[in-house]
A and B are shown apart, each in its own frame.
Chain A
């Protein structure tokens, strides 16, 4: 049990990186990761020893995220004069280009950004992504293609439509 617990804990940094990329805001990210760990811990018996724990956990996180997106809840944190401002962002993310990448990422539909991020950040194979998200392999590759195309178009300041024409 301790061993599984340690393995779950070891996944936290990766889950946070992915969630931050997917959601953006820090508090929402940590709420999602916390819910994922809670559910993962409770449902540890449904994880098959020897199978890929990372894919299993990312799958849990995906399902929780989908639930949240479908049922957007109103933030209930009380804000007043004493509420501290969010901590300043790391300086390396201040360059225009990088901020642009993040905002470009936000323009992608969830179904596409998830796939792109699992491939780019987690370096998952397309089969692993398909298993994690419960999608057919063909859907994974076609969405990956659209995500990259759209992101490139956004970064280069062109509309996706004109890029599509240029490619064909």
Chain B
């Protein structure tokens, strides 16, 4: 009986299951008479299994949201210019315009919420939060300093730097997943924290948490607007919270309540 000729490429196709049934049987017969080659093909098949076992867990990891947000419409990029403009304003000659914006948001705060003596300072916090939102949310690659995959380190690090124990609320039920967080300038010497979230469509929202609001009275929810960014903010003890996003007020309110509820039930 003539032995069919078997090439090296056939052996690999045999290992990978690419041969027709007939050819597969022929190669199997060829190998049956050659134990060393049989052992070699077995080892190669084992390699395939081992490589899949080693790396397939990656398939089930949550991919960092920055990957999906790499796919954005061009119009989304304008946000970056808006942020750059704000930095330029904050940096120098545009001080008066910034002052104007601040007054406008103060007015809005007074309009939408009960005015208190601390109103100016409180809305300054909202303003800081809105700027931090505009600066960091358009960043596709490094929107946060520590990612949500290291939430425990993030919480520890923020506790160390802000002197307060704070945990990012979970907003998954509302479609927003935590990306991570970073330190941002507070309105006095103490740094504030910024937690960033993102929905499946790449829409980002930030929660700014300041820890030096003890001088201000507790407030109800207030609303402010900074360009396209809507901000809900409130004071609770020494904590000031500001939730910012470029989404409509109704949705932002819903999220603000969810944040508020979670902070309220957490033992401080």
Contact = CB atoms under 8 A, between A and B. Distances in A.
Contacts of A13: 58-61, 63
Contacts of B13: 126
A102 B54 contact: yes
Nearest to A101: B50
Contacts of A151: 47
Nearest to B17: A123
A125 B9 CA distance: 12
A120 B150 contact: no
Interface string A124-168: 011000000000000001101100100110010000000000110
Contacts of B154: 84
Contacts of A16: 58-59, 61, 63, 67
A82 B149 CA distance: 16
Interface string A1-43: 0000100110011101110110000000011011101101100
A121 B63 contact: no
Contacts of B149: 87
Contact of A92 (B52, B57, B161): B57
Smallest CB-CB A-B distances: 3 pairs: A84-B153, A41-B71, A38-B70
5 contacts: A13-B58, A37-B68, A38-B71, A141-B8, A166-B36
Given A5-B71, A34-B67, A84-B153, 9 more contacts: A9-B68, A12-B67, A40-B71, A84-B150, A120-B47, A120-B51, A125-B18, A141-B9, A152-B43
Interface of B: 8-9, 12-13, 16, 18, 36, 40, 43-44, 47-48, 50-61, 63-64, 66-68, 70-72, 140-141, 146, 149-150, 153-154, 157, 160-161
